Structure 1
Amino acid sequence: MNSSLLENFCLVTEASEAFQTGQEPLGLARLAEALALSRAMGGPFYDLGGPAYLAPLYHRALEAGIEVELVQFMIRRYRFPPPDPATASDRWPWPVRIYTLGRFEIQCDGQPLRSTRKAQNKPLELIKLLCAFGGSSVHQSRVTDLLWPDALGDAADQALNTTLHRLRTLLKHDHSVRLEDRRLSLDPHWVWVDALAFDRIAHAPEQGDRKTLQAALNRYRGHFLEGETAAWALAFRERLRSHFLKLSERLGSLLEQEEDWPAALDCYHRVVEIEPAAESFYRRLMICQAQLGRRAEALAVYQRCRRVLLTHLGISPTAETQNLYQKLIDSE
């Protein structure tokens, strides 16, 4: 073993031991040295540990922003699965990434999937359906009843099998969608879905933490599969929308308690951009602007709220919002 390879091995070992003993700064420092040395040597070396040993280290590197391109290359090259799909960094290079919040887009190995063929409509509808049902253990009869309501028995099963084959071909990864015991699942080691990642964090026990709340809300770029009118999409959309509003309210309250008014302002602005008729968040915006000494901006928020409610719902602001507006006027 040459000296550089030996040094690299020692640094990786020291990093792993430091993490195991709770010495996070030391672990990150040794990991950064090891990865920088790997890059200088012309690339990473798989045989220094294997997936079970290296995947957690690579995950930490991605979270810390250390040699991101090198680490992503390493993971893709050797098909490393994430150590824990539920908590893996957004930088983890899943073979398939599906975006459903604010837009619908599929990326395969980092490249957007481009397909305008009519024959691909059913496979894409299938993957949307699986996302809406949580991506795991969806009974095939539930799928066939929704996608092929007029097909019976073997005809429905054959249609599903054909569509599943087309979907796997489209995604370029046979392992991405599993069919076991008549149940369909998106393999979490191969497929990442923004809506499911958001939903997991929304139910996490530590979701009251500011960092966790922010991480969840950063994923929510818009409502689930906007434009899709099927009942199965509407139900999941409303569930995620409710989580988004509750988490935003929780984060905003934490920021107000910390008197971080600019951050709270950003939080509330983001809500009304996605959910224009969320009246209570206009009140929070008015309060934040007032706390920052921006009385004119606070009054302008009220006028915007009034216009939006009239346009979208045909109603005026509630008495609570009007009273806050009047207090701001009287405070001059």
Structure 2
Amino acid sequence: MEFRILGPLGIAHDGNELRVPAGKPRLLLAMLLCHPNEPVPAERLVDALWGASPPKSAGDNLRVYVSQLRKAMGDSTRIVREPRGYALTVEPGELDAHRFEELLTTARACADPARTGALLREALALSRDAAFADVEHADPIARMALRLEEQRAAAAEEAVEADLALGRDAEAVAELRCLVHEHPLRERLRAQLMIALYRSGRQAEALAAYQEARKALVDELGIEPGPALRDLETRILNGDPALDAPSPRLPQEASPPPAKAPPRANWESWLWAVIPLLSCGYGTPWAFVYAAVRRRSPGLALSALAYLGLCGVFLVTPLSDDDGLNRLDVVPMLALISLWLGGTCHAVLVREHVFAPTPPSEQPRWTRTGGEVGLALFVLVAAAGYVWLEPPG
């Protein structure tokens, strides 16, 4: 359901205009919409409908009008009878005046002139005419209509101000002339018209607009223009550079987010990294088993298996009893060196990956090296063993 009071009174449902009975039912609807979701005393409604001399059947007639409105809306629960009077249920967003005020509030909180202007134009599009344009203005209706009209005029001024801030001075002149004709005593509109004309290279017309404003104020109210308008005339006469149009705003590219500092290695990561060195290589497989479990990394798990294989090669292959270096001793020695020195270097390389708080995908590729190093060491030792142990032709 959509209730419209910014212009002729109306109700729409699913985009279809509903017929509201003319006369007093229409006035009753306007009274209820002045106080949506609030009970309005029957005595107050009677006073608005008939004034100081209501008929004896006023109460019965009021109930008939309520019934007619319920039928027109196709919903008997919309208007409810409460102990304190009648209340019209209006859901959020159903009353155009509420949407207008929400857009106005959002626009005033916006710092971007383009966005502000768009929101204000959207709000002004809801206002088709003066509020309650086709309804007799009883006291509460008249007060609300006056408030809404003031908001509409202020929104128009602010929309023009946004256009001027964007350098749309020439386009604003025609709209401002219409607004000045509609609201001849609003000095802000007069000032905006003078500025738009001046920035469009029409200084003489800007000064003539001041004289028209002065004449309207003197003729209607018997007062001179305010200090702001008089000061603006002086600045136009002097060609004040501050009145020139603002420089167009260039769209600013979003600055890239600052690069993340690499995680600082703590004592725990260094202690883990020196385990292979301090254990002479025997602790290397278990260090990488811990790392694989901690990071849930298949690559680190592959490294752990490779180091376990190297450890097995060293333990299973016996050293010869001969003095000097025997060719059979090369394989276990290579396995031990890989476990000891290779494992230490490998651990230092990947320690940040193992203990970093960031996800693996956000870390450099080389810090995520897991199985490649360990597997490469295992393959090198296996190849060396094949070459050295293969019996000669």
| TM-score range normalised by the length of the shorter chain | 0.5 to 0.7
Provide the C-alpha distance between the structure 2 equivalents of 1:302 and 1:224, rounded to a whole number of angstroms: 30
Residue identity over aligned pairs, in percent, reads 21
Matched, 1:318 2:226: yes
Q: Which amino acid aligns with 2:40?
A: H
Per-residue CA distance 1:144-189 (angstroms, 9 max, x = gap): 453356699x9654332111122344x3633584215344215448
| CA positional deviation for 1:121 | 1.3
State the Cα RMSD in Å. Answer: 3.9
Q: What corresponds to 1:136 in structure 2? A: 37
Q: 1:98 — aligned with what?
A: 4
Contact 2:39 2:86 (C-alpha < 8 Å) held by counterparts:
yes
Is 1:224 aligned to residue 127 of structure 2?
A: no
Which amino acid in the other structure matches residue 4 of structure 2? I
2:214 maps to 1:214: no
SS in 1 for 2:87: strand
Q: Say which SS state the counterpart of residue 184 (structure 1) adopts.
A: strand
Kindly report which structure 2 residues correspond to 1:66-81, keeping only aligned pairs within 5 A, or say none: none
CA distance in 2, matches of 1:197, 1:99: 11
1:114–1:158 Cα change, 3 Å: closer
Cα distance change, pair 127–214 in 1 and its aligned pair in 2 (3 A): same
Residue 231 of structure 1: how far off its partner (Å)? 2.1
**Distance (whole Å) between structure 2 residues aligned to residue 323 and residue 298 of structure 1:** 13
Q: Tell me the matched-pair count.
A: 229
From the superposition, tell whether residues 203 and 129 of structure 1 become closer, same or farther in structure 2 (CA, over 3 Å): farther
Q: Secondary structure at the match of 2:23?
A: helix
User: How far apart are 1:110 and its partner, in Å?
Assistant: 4.2
2:146 corresponding residue in structure 1? 238
Aligned to 2:376: none
Question: Contact 1:97–1:106 (CA<8 Å) still a contact in 2?
Answer: yes
Aligned mates of 1:308, 1:104 — CA distance in 2? 33
Q: Which amino acid aligns with 2:120?
A: L
**Aligned partner of residue 277 in structure 1, secondary structure:** coil
1:224 and 1:233 in contact (8 A); partners too: no
Q: Distance in 2 between matches of 1:183 and 1:206?
A: 35
CA distance in 2 between counterparts of 1:223 and 1:129 reads: 16
1:284 equivalent to 2:210? Answer no
Alignment partner, residue 162 of structure 1: 64
Mapped partners of 1:312, 1:229: distance in 2: 25
Using the TM superposition, give the Cα deviation of residue 270 of structure 1 relative to its aligned residue in structure 2, in angstroms: 5.2
> How many Å separate the matches in 2 of 1:221 and 1:203?
20
Cα pair 1:261 1:288 within 8 Å, conserved: yes
Q: Which amino acid counterpart does residue 62 of structure 2 have in structure 1?
A: L
Q: TM-score, normalised by structure 2?
A: 0.47
Q: Deviations over 1:165-217 (max 9, x none)?
A: 22344x3633584215344215448x955434323433458753412222112
Match of 1:179 in 2: 80
Higher Cα Rg, which structure? 2
Q: Residue deviations 1:284-331, cap 9 Å, x none?
A: 110111112122332342243234334433434334323433443455
> Deviation per CA, 1:109-165, whole angstroms, max 9, x where unpaired?
6458597xxxx41101111212333x332334343453356699x965433211112
Structure 1 segments unaligned to the other structure (5+ residues): 1-93
Normalised to the residue count of structure 1, the TM-score between the two structures is: 0.54
- For residues 62 and 193 of structure 2, the distance between their equivalents in structure 1, rounded to whole angstroms, comes to 49
1:123 alignment counterpart: 25
Cα distance change on mapping 1:193 and 1:276 into 2, 3 Å? farther
3-state SS of the aligned residue for 2:191?
Answer: helix
